[in-house]
Amino acid sequence: MLALPETEWGLLRSAITDARRARPPAHVARCLMCSGPVFIQARAFRGLRLPYFAHFKGGDATCPWHTGETLHPDDARALQYGGAQESATHRMLCEQIAELAAADERCVAAEVSKYLPPSDNERGRYPDVLIVRRGAPKIAVEIQLSNTFQTEVSARCLHYEREGVGLLWVLYGLDMQADDLPQSFRDVVLRHRGNAFLLDDEAVAESLARRTLVLKCYLRGPEGRFEAGRLITLDNLTFSARGPPYLEDRITPGLLARGEAARTPWRTALRGRSPDFSYADLRSPAFLAANDHLCGLVPGLRQWEAETHQGQWMIANLIAVVFSVLSHAYGTFRNYASRQDNVQALLNSKLPSENLLPFALIMREILQRCGANDLLPGSVGQHLDRALSLGDGNFVLDYEAPWAAIAVLLPELFDPLLRFELETLDALPTWARPKTTTTGRTRVPPAHPAQRPQSLEEDHGFPHHPG
């Protein structure tokens, strides 16, 4: 965990807390000593922000790794505000945001601390400000001036997500260029996919001039620092089914870039292959570059290719077949390994061949994990079973370099943490989502808006081209 960037352990921190507060509750992480559920805390240390595991409140106090009890959120707020549950500044900001939002001619209501009855929860909530506009999503605004608990952030996010209400956290009084941003504010920014929304004097003046609520949005850059703030309105935000709204998603693209960077050289090579895709293609500059790039990412792959008869061709053929299968999983089949016009014919002919048979275990894992799992009940599954019987004792095993190569090319399938993070964001690419079966029919879960490319060529490395 210490080796992960803050964005990734932050996503894990949020997911652990959300899972515990879900219905029914679940535990993503447990203590290796007592098996009790744990969450991630963070502390500043020598200019760094480091994560560590801690027991949830009520954990086994006899565990040698127990870190003590924590304050209840209500008690913590009382200490912050001198015995009150709300500060005068907080109340003033709520009223100001409601007044600015109400000036918009489309605003039906902008109310402070009004009870919002539940539709999919056991109880309702009192959002700091509830904004209702014609032709727009309902928005609950929560104002954060001071530290809060991750459990409280999680509870509000889950509640409003179930209610179908957009939750907008508005921060106040922060220097977004400072290095010591408190963890609870970092949690909120992460929930907004790397967006921080603030109300300051400039935003208030612009709100009055434009007669609508204007906030200042700071976008988090790849190195963790925030870009200059920009003034935005509620209409500029993207509202998704999973998580609070955002101006720009600064989290998902970085996670998806890992697999795309590994696949790009092979996408380029497969675009320029010959119609029959033969061994001669391997001598082209594009295939040489793709193989060199992959060997640089996977220690031992070059040696495996050298020690295996036609090893480089076997790897290239495997990748061509895999890319073909995943194009089917996306919904637009393209054959990069042969001339068959459908994926069933491709796999049924290739699985028993000497080039693909050693990779039967790999192919089984890919088919089970991706959106091509609907092929397994039919003839493809029968040919795969036959290949597994024929190749008994001669398969490439999971500790050998080809497995590592496929894992590098397809981290969305084989990297459990990355897959978990993308699932948490509802951003797993379409081709990486196994189809679910309902009454004998297959259904592909809807993709997150960020994962709906205009063409297959844009779908993170599985090319679509004529011919």
Pick among 3.30.160, 2.30.130, 3.40.1350, 3.40.50: CATH of 73-250:
3.40.1350
Distance CA 466, CA 314 (A): 25
pLDDT given for residue 174 in this prediction: 87
Helices (H), 243-378: 252-271, 285-297, 301-307, 311-330, 343-350, 360-369
The b-or-e profile of 5-44 (16+ CB within 10 A means b, else e) is ebbbbbbbbbbbbbbbeeeeeeebbebeebebbbbbebee
pLDDT given for residue 44 in this prediction: 82
pLDDT given for residue 436 in this prediction: 80
Map out the domains of the chain as residue ranges. 6-55, 73-250, 255-458
pLDDT given for residue 70 in this prediction: 62
pLDDT given for residue 461 in this prediction: 46
Helices (H), 3-72: 6-21
pLDDT given for residue 462 in this prediction: 53
User: For 389, how many CA atoms within 13 A lie in the half-sphere containing its CB?
Assistant: 6
pLDDT given for residue 72 in this prediction: 59
pLDDT digits (tens, 9 = 90+) for 50-86: 999 999 888 888 998 887 766 555 665 555 555 455 6
Q: Residue ranges of the chain with pLDDT lower than 70?
A: 69-86, 393, 437-467
Q: List all residues 6 or more positions away from 123 whose beta carbon is below 8 Å from its beta carbon.
A: none
pLDDT given for residue 47 in this prediction: 76
- The DSSP result for 94-147, as a single string, is HHHHHHHHHTSTTEEEEEES--B--SSSSS-B--SEEEEETTS--EEEEEE-S-
pLDDT digits (tens, 9 = 90+) for 327-360: 999 999 999 999 999 999 999 999 998 889 999 9
**Tokens representing 442?**
């297959």
pLDDT given for residue 292 in this prediction: 97
**Tokens representing 264?**
């790009």
